[in-house]
Structures are given as C-alpha cells and as structure tokens.
Structure 1
Amino acid sequence: MTSSKRHAQIVASLRTKGAASVRELAESLRVSESTIRRDLDVLDRDGELVRTYGGAALSPVAVAPEPSFAVSAENDTAEKEAMAEHAAALVPDDSVIVLDIGTSTRLIARRLRGRPITVITGNLAVLDELRDDDAVRLCLLGGVVRRNYQSLVGSLAEAALRQVSADLVFLSCTGVRPNGHVVDDMEVEAPIKQAMIESAGRVVLVASEAKFPGTGSLRLCSLADVDTLITTAGADPQTLEHCRKAGGKVLIA
C-alpha cells in the first residue's frame, strides 16, 4: 500500500472513530508502528489530524469545515476596502512583501497591481489578482492546496518561508485579545503565519473591529511583535492602547 493510500485510510478511520492509537492503526493497516508514527507526523504537519500521546485525533478543521473562501469574500465591506487602502500605502516601491491568506490580503494585492515590488504568498486568490501583472514579481509558496480557502499550507510552505527575507508581512488573524495576544483558530494555518512573521523585518496586522477579541486559541504572536495595526473604528480602545504602549502604530480605516 502506498503512503498516500495509508494517509487516506488513516483520516477515514479518524472520521469514523474520532481518535485512534498507533497500535490500532498499525494493526488495521498491517504495517509497523514506526510507519504509522511517520504517517501521523506528516498528516499532523499538513493539518489533516492532531497528534496525541500514543496516537492521533481528527483535526477540528476536518470535524467542522470552515466557511469557504467564496463565502468569506461575500462578506467584504467598505471597511475591508479602507483597510486595504491603508495597507497598500505602506508598501514602498522595490520592496519585498509577504501576503497572508484571507480576503483582506486579496484586496491589498488588488491595490498593488502595477507596482515594482515582489509579492510572496500562499494565497491563491492573490495569485489570481496578480498573475497577469508584469510589474509585480510574484513568488508562490509550495504546499498542500486547501481548496475551500484557496491557500497553500503544510511543511513545504513552512520550509519555503525559512528561505525568505522580506521587508513587510501583512498578517491576518481570527482574534486580538485584550492581553495583547494575536490568535488564530486553525492549526493548519498557525505555523505558516508564524513562519511569515519570522520571515519579515516588519509586521503589519490587518484586523477589523470584529477581531477584538474575536476567536481562536492558537497564539501567533503578541502586539509587541506588531509594528503597525490596521483596524476599524469599533476596535476595543484598551487593546489599541496596549498596541501603542508596546511600540506599535495604529491606523484606523
């Protein structure tokens, strides 16, 4: 049996049971426990499951599928457009920028058309915005395609980002806590976002007022790591002040 078939059967088994031990999977697939451990490590990195002590459990991403990119895009508002305008204004010519996944970064990309810059991304919607623009040098990260959210994730994307030295990263999130923690609710995305933060000299967080406090339990960074926060008028004032005291600049769209 090929590794891809084993991976598919492991995920199918977890969809049925919710969780399984290494021993159970090894016996059902008739392979060694060491082989199963390697399979689980790969699937964990790709966000297909969550490694547990002695086994694995189904990833929350697979249990409760997130809204598709198309649904998220339908929720674009004038506020998101305004945030994108502020973000694009921060990009100097001849700079190297990283664009995170999400609908807001797609809107930023749209405003960067015709600019002599380099854009690095795992966002396939950004690819669609810039693929025919000769002025922009477009670099696409590798990885596993998440079709429902038009993004590239997994160990290949993380490895590619370790080779990147960018001027700016435009980061999205699902929540900004009052204590200054910037969080996300998708295990498959969090390592990619953290690698993006490490790849860039400056971090620009794009988070509308709905993200204060938002949702999510996976810490990406703190507001002390954010150089500029772009948000909207209804964002929590105390959290914004926390950002300013930590040395960040706050832009209200």
Structure 2
Amino acid sequence: MTSSKRRAHIVSSVRTKGAASVRELAESLQVSESTIRRDLDVLDRNGELVRTYGGAAQSPQSSVSEISFGASAEQDPAAKEAVAERAAAMVEDDMVVVLDIGTSTRQIARRLRGRPITVITANLAVFDELRDDDAVRLCLLGGVVRRNYLSLVGSLTETALRQVSADLVFLSCTGVRPNGHVVDDMEVETQIKRAMIEASDRVVLVASEAKFPGTGSLRVCSLDQIDTLVTTSGADPQTLELCRQAGGKVFIA
C-alpha cells in the first residue's frame, strides 16, 4: 500500500470512529507503529486530523471538510459577492495584489480577470480562477498542500512571502471580535495571514456581517493594522466604529 493510500485509510478510520490509537491503526494496516506516527504527524500538519497522545482525533472541521469550502460559499452567496465586487473595485492596473485563502478572495479573483495586475496567492481556488488568464501575472506561493481547504501553508509559504513586496492584501478571517481582534480558527493559516500582512503596504479585510463576531480563537491582527474593512450592512456597528477610530476606512457593500 502506498503512503497516500495508507493516510487516506487513516483519515477515513479516524473520521468514522472520531478517534483512533496508533496501535489499532498499525494493526489494521499491518505496518509499524513508527510508520503510523509519521503518517499522523503529516496528516496533522495538513489539517486532516488532530494528533493526540497515543493516536489521533477528528479535526473540529473535518466532519464537513470535504464540503467546507463549497458550503461556506453557499452560506450567504449574495453577501460574499457584494463584498468581492466592492473589494475588486479597489484594485488599480499594474498593482501587486496578495489574495488570502477563502471563498471571498476567490470571488475577488474572478472579478480581476483580464486586468494587467500581479496576483500572489497561496489559495489554490484563486489559482484555478486565474491560471488561464494571460492578462494577470500569477504567482503561486509554495508550501504544503492542504487539500481540504485548497491552500498552501508551512515554512515554505512563509519564506516565499518574505520575498514579496505588494501594494495590498485582501485578507480573510473567521471572526472580528468586539474588542477589535481579527481572529481565525486554524493555526497553520494564521501564520500565513500574518506574513501576508507584513508583505503588503495596505491591508484590506474582507468580512461579511456573519464574521461579527464569527468564530476563532487565534489572533491574526488587530483592527488598527487594517487599512480598509469591506463588509455588509448587518455588521456590528460598534466594531465598525472601532475600526474607524483606529484609522481604518469602512466600506459597506
């Protein structure tokens, strides 16, 4: 059995049972426990499960991971499209633009087709949107592929971003707290978002009203690091005012 098939079996087993030990996985697949441990380390880094003492458990999002990207887009497609339309209008010709992961940034990419700009991304969905567009200069960052989330992460991605100097980044998140903290729920993505902020002159946060307060416990940045917030009319007004007080512009799509 190849390593990819073995890991697919491990993921399927953990998702079916909710958790599995190294010993039972090794017996089931007839391989050594050290092989299973290495597989679990890889799968944990890819976000496909959570490494635990003596085994692995189902990732909090893995029960819906196969459909999470598409389902997110359907939660409020009109709001996401409105945010993407307003955000894309901020891009000028010849700009260097960084696009974060997420369905909103994919929508932005769709609206940037045919433009003489440079797009830098770790978002495989953005890559798919622009891969055949001769007008856009497309730069795909390296890294470990997280197939469930259509993204590239890890030290290779962060190292590549340190070589980037962009005009602006369109940043996504899973929540915007009333205290002004912009948060996410995946540690491997949070590091990449911070690197994108560092690489860009201007930071544009795209977050529909569902992200106020949204979910997530990992702090990406604060609203005082956001130059522009693009959201929808139902976003918490006090949080929007906090953004304005911090010097950021707020656009309601």
Fold equivalence (TM over 0.5): yes
Would the aligned equivalents of 1:114 and 1:136 in 2 still touch at CA under 8 Å?
Answer: yes
Secondary structure class of the residue paired with 1:134: coil
Matched residue, 1:180: 180
Task: Rate the CA distance shift 1:36–1:167 in 2: closer, same or farther, 3 A.
Answer: farther
Matched residue, 2:245: 245
Would the aligned equivalents of 1:162 and 1:199 in 2 still touch at CA under 8 Å?
Answer: no
The answer on 1:159 being equivalent to 2:156 is yes
Matched residue, 1:64: 64
Q: 1:239 Cα deviation (Å)?
A: 0.9
Would the aligned equivalents of 1:174 and 1:183 in 2 still touch at CA under 8 Å?
Answer: yes
Letter of the 2:70 counterpart: F
Matched residue, 2:131: 131
Q: State the superposition RMSD in angstroms.
A: 3.0
Counterparts of 1:100-249 in structure 2 under 5 Å? 100-142=100-142, 143-144=144-145, 146=147, 151-155=150-154, 159-164=156-161, 165=164, 166-185=166-185, 189-249=189-249
Q: Distance in 2 between matches of 1:31 and 1:38?
A: 12
Please say which of residues 193-202 and 36-45 is displaced more in the overlay: 193-202
Q: 1:26 Cα deviation (Å)?
A: 4.3
Aligned residues: 248
Unaligned segments of structure 2, at least 5 residues: none
Would the aligned equivalents of 1:100 and 1:169 in 2 still touch at CA under 8 Å?
Answer: yes
Identity of aligned residues (%): 74
Task: Rate the CA distance shift 1:18–1:229 in 2: closer, same or farther, 3 A.
Answer: same
**Residue deviations 1:44-81 (CA, integer Å, cap 9, x gap):** 1111111223432111222234545277258422x444
Please say which of residues 81-90 and 112-121 is displaced more in the overlay: 81-90
Q: 1:205 Cα deviation (Å)?
A: 0.6
Q: 1:207 Cα deviation (Å)?
A: 0.8
Secondary structure class of the residue paired with 1:64: helix
Q: Distance in 2 between matches of 1:81 and 1:57?
A: 35
Unaligned segments of structure 1, at least 5 residues: none
**Residue deviations 1:7-33 (CA, integer Å, cap 9, x gap):** 223223312432234454445545444
Task: Rate the CA distance shift 1:215–1:63 in 2: closer, same or farther, 3 A.
Answer: same
Q: 1:161 Cα deviation (Å)?
A: 4.4
Q: 1:192 Cα deviation (Å)?
A: 4.4
**Residue deviations 1:185-240 (CA, integer Å, cap 9, x gap):** 45675454444334434321101122111233343333233222111222112111
Secondary structure class of the residue paired with 1:47: coil
Q: Distance in 2 between matches of 1:67 and 1:12?
A: 17
Task: Rate the CA distance shift 1:57–1:81 in 2: closer, same or farther, 3 A.
Answer: closer
Counterparts of 1:46-61 in structure 2 under 5 Å? 46-61=46-61
Relative to the length of structure 1, the TM-score reads 0.80
Relative to the length of structure 2, the TM-score reads 0.80
Would the aligned equivalents of 2:157 and 2:192 in 1 still touch at CA under 8 Å?
Answer: no
Letter of the 1:9 counterpart: H
Secondary structure class of the residue paired with 2:77: coil
Secondary structure class of the residue paired with 2:178: coil
Q: Distance in 2 between matches of 1:136 and 1:29?
A: 46
Q: 1:242 Cα deviation (Å)?
A: 2.1
Q: Distance in 1 between matches of 2:113 and 2:145?
A: 26
Secondary structure class of the residue paired with 1:11: helix
